[in-house]
């Protein structure tokens, strides 16, 4: 009964675990798929927003910075006139010129090196060394002799947002350049891509960073103390930047960290509708995390734990319910309903286990019959006969205690299975049972009437051979039982004694 309850509990728990695990797995797969779909949708919205706003900013500057461009051109042409009057630029007061126009002044020699400037961070900058493609563009502008201005550009040294205008001297010896900081420009303050990036980062939990990189590999950033370039990044970062710039198609890679955290790096090519300068082509770098997924999966895991706890509690409750519903059925399948000792089916199962698992122990089997029991039923009725059987079972259990168990095969046939026994103990047990039964005849008048015609015949056998089966042991004990009956009943015989007597008779 106990083993059945344990097996039933294990089965219920296993079923609950499997059911919860399957539900959890399916639900998690659906959740992950939904999150991935939502992330893809968010990325598309974010990136469309980024590229659209960048185009809007460029277009706004194209239409609204005409005044700045004209101002730059006027100032540069004045410098050309001044150069014609005073070609010794070493004597120029560049700071005074800057104060007049409100723009930084740059003077580049034929090697495209900034030899004089009011923007000290750019002094000595050699474009032919740092930025060969841009240096080639400067050579073309110098040779044309025309005025040029760029749209949104960046400082090569700081990465800040700036605007530049260019005009070469008639002798092509120098290239004059003027630059202004776009952060001071009202148009830029209104149409500022940096504000768009900040807004998107605040809106989307998984968006970590948005950066613009010009074609030369310099990050647009006015808030850094120095410029940041692609060359300072990891090798894989550089490879994807170059790939995006070459193919003009989005590219990406990702990094996995501890606890399931993943960062995805996206590179989005961008070309301004109106080409003005080196920064007309850019790469927008976008970095994403998977915070939403981690949070959702953590919540899903907690739900699983709660569901698992509920399933386990439910399993115990179901066990109690099933145990209550089946306890009577299980009891009837295990015990004799009249005497409450084991029935024959239980005896077979327990005996097989006992013999199969035996080590050095010697199981024993004691068979009992109530002699003349039919006379009790005939004279006193079956109710009184049942009382005799119940009393007999009580005495047998009392005598056996924890050394074995009692079985009723049916009618007046009983058995005692002993876990480990020797001949002496089995003899003592049999004699004690005989004395108890005999004593019942003298307890009171009712007992005398019922037990007056009864006695007990017993036969026992001990399992000595390692490979002996239940059938073999039973047959030996049964022979000993019938030896007791044939010898006059109300006694005990052991199989060993019976076998010894037969051998003695044969020898004689």
- If you write DSSP's letter for every residue of 22-72 in order, what string do you get? HHHHHHHHHHHHHHHHHHHHHHHHHHHHHHHHHHHHHHHHHHH-HHHHHHH
| More confidently predicted of 228 and 177 | 177
Q: Which of 179-183, 252-256, 350-354 has the lowest mean pLDDT?
A: 179-183
Q: What is the pLDDT of residues 378-405, one digit of tens each?
A: 888 999 899 999 999 999 999 999 999 9
Helices and strands counted in the chain (H then E): 16, 16
pLDDT: which is higher, 187 or 408? 408
Least Cα distance to 455 among 376, 364, 339 occurs for 376
- Range picked from 132-141, 264-273, 470-479 for highest mean pLDDT: 470-479
pLDDT at position 480 is 95
Angstrom distance (rounded) from CA 472 to CA 479: 11
Q: What are phi and psi of 422, to 5 degrees?
A: -120, 165
User: Would you place residue 315 in the very low, low, confident or very high pLDDT band (cuts 50, 70, 90)?
Assistant: confident
pLDDT: is 405 or 272 the higher one?
405
Confidence of residue 422 (pLDDT cuts 50, 70, 90): very high
pTM for the model stands at 0.53
- Long-range CB pairs of 216-221 (<8 Å, 24+ gap) are 216/131, 216/133, 216/134, 216/156, 216/278, 217/241, 218/154, 218/156, 218/159, 219/154, 219/159, 219/285, 220/154, 220/159, 220/160, 220/161, 220/282, 221/159, 221/160
Cα(343)–Cα(348) distance, integer angstroms: 9
- The predicted-structure confidence for 207-226, as pLDDT tens digits, reads as follows 999 988 888 888 876 555 56
For position 114, what pLDDT does the model report? 94
In Å, how far are 181, 342, 352 from 346, measured between CA atoms?
97, 6, 10
Q: What is the mean pLDDT of residues 457-481?
A: 92
- Is 300 or 187 the better-scoring residue by pLDDT? 300
Burial class (CB in 10 A: 0-12, 13-18, 19+), 38: middle
What local confidence, expressed as pLDDT, does residue 81 receive? 93
DSSP secondary structure letters along 193-248: HHHHHHHHHHH-TTEEEEEEEETTSBEE-SSSSS--BGGGS-HHHHHHHHHHHHH-
| Of 11-20, 200-209, 488-497, the least confident | 11-20
Lowest-pLDDT choice from 61-70, 218-227, 262-271, 394-403? 218-227
> How do 413-418 and 281-288 pair as beta strands?
unpaired
In a 3-state reduction of DSSP, which class is residue 175? strand
Neighbours of 254 (CB within 10 A): 11
More confident residue, 102 or 273: 102
Answer for the pair 57, 192: CB distance below 8 angstroms, yes or no: yes
- pLDDT of 105 > 90? The answer is yes
Q: What is the DSSP string of 426-477?
A: HHHHHHHHHHHHHHGGGS-HHHHHHHTT-EEEEEEEE--STT--HHHHHHHH
Give me the mean pLDDT over the 56-71 stretch. Answer: 74
Q: Which helix (H) or strand (E) holds 406?
A: strand 404-410
CB 201 within 8 A of CB 211: no
Tokens read off for 357: 């698992």
Mean pLDDT in residue range 343-347: 94
Q: Distance from CA of residue 9 to its chain's centroid? A: 26
Distance CA 237, CA 380 (A): 103
Beta-sheet strands, E only, within 231-312: 251-256, 262-271, 281-288
The per-residue pLDDT for 228 is 82
Q: What is the DSSP letter of 89?
A: G
Higher pLDDT, 152 or 370: 370
Nearest to 213 by CA among 268, 165, 157, 164: 268
Q: To which residue do tokens 């084991």 refer? A: 342
């Amino acid at each position: 009964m106990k083993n059945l309850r344990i097996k039933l509990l294990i089965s219920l728990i296993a079923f609950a675990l499997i059911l919860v695990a399957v539900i959890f797995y399916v639900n998690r797969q659906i959740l992950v798929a939904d999150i991935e779909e939502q992330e893809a949708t968010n990325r598309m919205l974010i990136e469309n927003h980024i590229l659209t706003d960048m185009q809007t900013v460029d277009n706004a500057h194209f239409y609204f910075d005409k005044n700045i461009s004209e101002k730059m051109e006027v100032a540069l042409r004045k410098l050309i006139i001044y150069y014609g009057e005073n070609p010794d630029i070493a004597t120029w007061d560049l700071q005074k010129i800057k104060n007049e126009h409100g723009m930084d002044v740059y003077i580049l020699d034929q090697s495209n090196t900034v030899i004089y400037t009011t923007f000290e961070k750019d002094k000595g900058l050699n474009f032919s060394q740092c930025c060969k493609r841009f240096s080639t563009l400067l050579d073309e502008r110098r040779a044309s002799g025309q005025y040029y201005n760029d749209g949104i550009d960046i400082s090569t040294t700081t990465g800040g947002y700036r605007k530049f205008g260019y005009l070469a001297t008639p002798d092509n010896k120098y290239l004059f350049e003027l630059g202004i900081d776009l952060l001071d420009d009202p148009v830029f303050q209104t149409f500022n891509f940096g504000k768009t990036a900040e807004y998107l980062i605040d809106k989307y939990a998984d968006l970590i960073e948005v950066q613009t990189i010009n074609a030369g590999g310099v990050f647009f950033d006015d808030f850094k103390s120095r410029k940041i370039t692609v060359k300072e990044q990891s090798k894989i970062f550089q490879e994807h930047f170059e790939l995006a710039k070459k193919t003009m198609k989005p590219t990406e890679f990702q990094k996995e960290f501890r606890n399931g955290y993943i960062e995805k790096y996206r590179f989005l090519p961008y070309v301004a509708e109106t080409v003005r300068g080196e920064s007309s082509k850019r790469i927008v770098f976008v970095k994403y995390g998977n915070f939403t997924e981690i949070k959702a999966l953590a919540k899903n895991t907690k739900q699983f734990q709660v569901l698992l706890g509920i399933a386990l509690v439910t399993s115990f409750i179901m066990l109690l319910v099933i145990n209550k519903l089946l306890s009577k059925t299980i009891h009837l399948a295990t015990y004799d309903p009249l005497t409450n000792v084991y029935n024959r089916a239980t005896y077979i199962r327990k005996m097989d286990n006992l013999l199969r698992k035996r080590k050095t122990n010697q199981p024993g089997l004691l068979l009992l019959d109530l002699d003349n029991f039919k006379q009790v039923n005939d004279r006193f009725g079956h109710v009184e006969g049942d009382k005799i059987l119940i009393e007999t079972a009580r005495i047998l259990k009392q005598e056996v205690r924890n050394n074995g168990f009692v079985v009723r095969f049916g009618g007046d046939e009983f058995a005692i299975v002993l876990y480990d026994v020797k001949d002496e103990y089995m003899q003592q047990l049999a004699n004690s049972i005989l004395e108890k039964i005999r004593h019942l005849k003298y307890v009171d008048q009712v007992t005398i009437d019922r037990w007056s015609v009864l006695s007990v015949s017993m036969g026992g056998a001990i399992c000595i051979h390692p490979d002996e089966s239940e059938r073999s042991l039973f047959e030996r004990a049964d022979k000993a039982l019938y030896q007791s009956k044939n010898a006059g009943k109300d006694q005990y015989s052991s199989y060993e004694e019976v076998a010894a007597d037969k051998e003695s008779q044969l020898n004689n």
